[in-house]
Amino acid sequence: MRAASIKDVANHAGVAVGTVSNVLNYPERVAPRTRSRVLASISTLGFVRNDVARQLRAGHSRTIGLIVLDIGNPFFSSLARAAEDAAADSGNAVVLGNSGHDSHRELHYIDLFEEQRVQGVLISPVADITQRLTALAERGTHVILVDSPAGEGAFSSVSVDDVSGGYLATKHLLGLGRRRIAFVAGPQHFHQVRDRLTGTTRAVGEVVGATLEVLQADDLTVLAGRAIGDALVRRERESLPDGLFCANDLLALGVMQSITMLHNLRIPEDVALVGYDDIDFAASAVVALTSIRQPTALIGQTAVELLAEQLEDPQTTPRSVVFKPELVVRASTNG
Ligand code: RIB
């Protein structure tokens, strides 16, 4: 049985096709009694509007493409949820692409979203793809950088000052009297990791006698944190850092699992631990995790608002919104 068409609805309701179109797009233009009759016919026939036809006329769909680095990281799933809520307020939907830190997959999603004529692409890039994003924008798809400052200002962006976030975390450890600081870094091609390391380095440099060691993890996941923690617990006690700052909460939770499984090391007495993002699991960790909170929901919401500005007036000057992170102290540093 073929799907009901707009003509079928018009015939069933005894109105012109244009009246059905108005009920769908400009219901305020149709008399209430006529509108009710058309809606009853839509329901009876099970009519579903053909968005492809509408978007061919309008040039763009009612969807927004969002490409994140790792949907397995609660930071990005919370950001995506906030973006989706903000988009729904204006009748748009968010279609999610997870690059999984893979540049090829990221480019595939950009191509796909361009073909689908999304309203715009919100993206947290794996690496520098300015050339591809510029081409995307020049062909009419707006681009908003998420969790990524726009270097030369070509695109609007929303991010957090990760340098001050790293500084905050390390100043807190130093304030506890810790002097052997270690930074557990994720892959340093991520500007988020580099900026957090910059802030850490600055804080350590301000305290005489403080030292900084960089422990390089191979990813930004709990498993990568476990590998770092397993290596740490095999060290001689006197060579251990007494303050650990991890590039994100997933790394910190992995390190915490290793340390708490070896009962002769205690958090925070022996090793104070700080993460970054303040994901929901930070507060509920076996030792509640001190973390640097990012305004995750606000980042997602702001990204959609920046896109709405571009859609409202394509001549809008791109602007960068940079939020400040916040230190949230919990048991993992309450030494
Ligand atoms: O994707 C790596 C990290 O960068 C996330 O944990 C979050 O901190 C983002 O800013």
Ligand 1 binding site (Cβ under 6 Å of any ligand atom): 69-70, 73, 75, 147, 190, 192, 220, 248, 276-277
In a domain, 245, yes or no: yes
Q: Which of 164, 277, 298 to mutate to test the pocket of ligand 1 (most atoms within 8 A of CB)?
A: 277
* Mean of pLDDT over the chain: 93
Task: Select from 146, 147, 184 the residue to mutate for testing ligand 1; criterion: most ligand atoms less than 8 Å from CB.
Answer: 147
Task: Tell whether 34 and 145 lie within a shared domain.
Answer: no
Tell whether the model's pLDDT for residue 297 goes beyond 90.
Answer: yes
Shared-domain flag, residues 183 and 246: yes
What's the rounded mean pLDDT across residues 330-334? 96
In this predicted structure, what is the pLDDT of residue 170? 98
Q: What pLDDT, on the 0 to 100 scale, is given for residue 4?
A: 86
Three-state DSSP at 179 gives coil
pLDDT at 57: 59
State in Å: Cα 196 to ligand 1 middle: 10
Compute, in angstroms, the gap from residue 29 CA to the centroid of ligand 1.
48
The residue-averaged pLDDT of 246-252 equals 98
- Ligand 1 atom at minimum distance from 276 CA: 8
> What range does the domain containing 16 cover?
6-49
Is the Cα torsion angle 170, 175, 176, 180 positive or negative in sign? positive
Task: Find all residues with CB under 8 Å of 88, minimum gap 6, and list them.
Answer: none
What would the pLDDT profile of 40-75 be if each residue is shown by its tens digit? 999 899 888 776 666 655 667 789 999 999 999 999
Cβ-based neighbour number of residue 43 at 10 Å: 10
Mean pLDDT within 284-298: 97
pLDDT reading at 160 higher than 60: yes
Domain-embedded: residue 328: no
Domain count, the chain: 3
pLDDT of 231 strictly over 90: yes
Is position 329 within any domain?
no
